[in-house]
Amino acid sequence: MNGMMGLAVRARQAVTGTDACSMMIEARKCGLLLLDESAGIHTRKRFESLCERTGTRIVIIPEGLLEKATGSPGVTMAIRNGSFADQVTKLSAEDD
Q: What confidence tens digit (pLDDT) does each residue in 29-48 have?
A: 999 999 999 999 999 999 99
User: What average pLDDT does range 77-94 have in this prediction?
Assistant: 91
Q: Residue 96 pLDDT more than 70?
A: no
> Which pTM does this prediction carry?
0.91
Q: What are phi and psi of 31, to 5 degrees?
A: -95, -25
- Average pLDDT of the chain? 92
Rounded-to-integer distance, Cα 80 and Cα 96, Å: 22
- Rounded CA-CA distance 72/89 in Å is 21
The residue among 52, 1, 2, 42 whose CA lies nearest residue 18 is: 42
Q: How far apart are CA 25 and CA 27, in angstroms?
A: 5
Give the rounded percent of residues in the chain with a pLDDT score beyond 90. 75
pLDDT at 95: 73
